[in-house]
Amino acid sequence: MGLTSKSTGLSLLKNKYDIVKEDRDMIVIALAGNPNTGKSTLFNTLTGLNQHTGNWPGKTVSNAKGTFKYKDKKFLLVDLPGTYSLLANSVEEEIARDFICFGNPDITIVITDATCLERNLNLVLQVMEITDKVIVCVNLIDEAKRKGISIDIEKLENRLGVPVIPTVARDNKGIDELLEIIYQMINGNIKTNPYRLKYSDEIESIIKEIEPILIETLGTKYNTRWLALRLIDGDKAIFNSIDNILKKYSI
Amino acid sequence: MIHEIPLNKLPVGKKARIKVLSKNVLPKRRLMDLGLIPNTIVKTERISPSGNPIAYNIRGAVIALRKEEIENVIVEIID
């Protein structure tokens, strides 16, 4: 049995993440980032909700959801747990990773901490390896300024190949720009060209062997190159995630 | 003389350069995700009363690590 309407994005979201879209046109946005970079603050700013925010890592363990409108579009925002990585060292990472890979969000926003940007870029690169539809928020830009750090947003944007927006989520700064970029991206007015890692010839040739098999079993809905890389990694958690998808839809 | 020691032996206030990470794949991956890769400079910020965990400044963020996670990480004291 091939992919059916049941196995596509909507019902997957509903089953795995308990996400119910109010209508089909709703656009799903995932919010990812390192712990304690202001994901929940941005989430509250965008949705007007009052999800608990706190100054400690690990506060958001499962997904929080909220909706908002901008111009003629309705959005569903999913606040993922804070992680340093998507290579599933922990439950939080697995939740975040499965959502970005199998939940097929329309856009993934990666929120980063301007005061220690470098260490946040690991996650940015990992997210960009899974999906093209990425927006990077450089948050806490005010704190960085106080510490004498200035960020060359344009250069970062050029190097990453995705939109980069400086924000101070706490003070609502940069939020209008972010909304506009989201809107333009949904309407197809912004094309991204994410920086992708090239692996050694040996790894690339193994990917070429594995990927067709993955496409045969899973279809083209998921990022099979990335899944192939995880299989090469010997990542056991990804086997479970693939298994769950296969079982659920008895492909 | 080169001062190469396990990371958990680095005294408070001292800086060191990472030479070797763990040999096991999983712990190594985790440390790398936290920003520890060879040649990264780390500084011991403070040690908890029981001596474990220990807080390090790693690339601008203070992160507490357990002794078991870092006793295989070899560093070279630089300051």
Q: Which H or E run contains A27?
A: strand A27-33
Q: pLDDT at position A192, please?
A: 94
Parse chain B into domains and list their residue ranges.
Answer: 4-77
Q: Does A87 touch chain B (CB under 8 A)?
A: yes
B49 has a chain A CB within 8 A of its CB: no
pLDDT at A104: 85
A66: how many CB neighbours lie within 10 A of its CB?
A: 18
Which residue has 């996670």 as its token pair?
B69
Contact B22, B72 (CB under 8 A): yes
Gap from A227 CA to chain B (nearest CA, Å): 17
Position A12 scores a pLDDT of 47
A6 Cβ neighbours under 8 A, 6+ residues apart: A249
Average pLDDT over residues A136-163: 96
Q: Give me A115's structure tokens.
A: 């005061």
ipTM given for this complex: 0.79
Report the CATH number of the B4-77 domain: 2.30.30.90
What does the pLDDT average to over A91-118?
Answer: 90
| Interface check A147 vs B, CB under 8 A | no
Indicate the residue of B25, B34, B60 with minimum beta-carbon distance to A84. B34
For residues B9 and B63, give the distance between their C-alpha atoms in angstroms, rounded to a whole number. Answer: 16
- Nearest-neighbour CA in chain B from A245: distance (Å): 25
A116 touches B at CB < 8 Å: yes
Between A87, A115, A119, which is nearest B35 by CB?
A119
Q: What is the predicted pLDDT for the residue at B24?
A: 76
Domains in chain A: boundaries: 5-186, 201-249
Query: Which residue in the set B29, B59, B61 is minimally distant from A89, CB to CB?
Result: B29
Tens-digit pLDDT profile for residues A33-87: 998 899 889 999 999 876 666 555 555 555 688 899 999 999 999 988 889 998 8
* Second-level CATH architecture of A5-186: 3-Layer(aba) Sandwich (3.40)
Residue A126 confidence class, pLDDT cut points 50, 70, 90: very high
CA A127 to chain B, closest CA, distance in angstroms equals 13
Confidence of residue B76 (pLDDT cuts 50, 70, 90): very high
User: What residues pair up with A168 in beta bridges, in sequence order?
Assistant: A173
Q: Enter the tokens of residue A233.
A: 């990694």
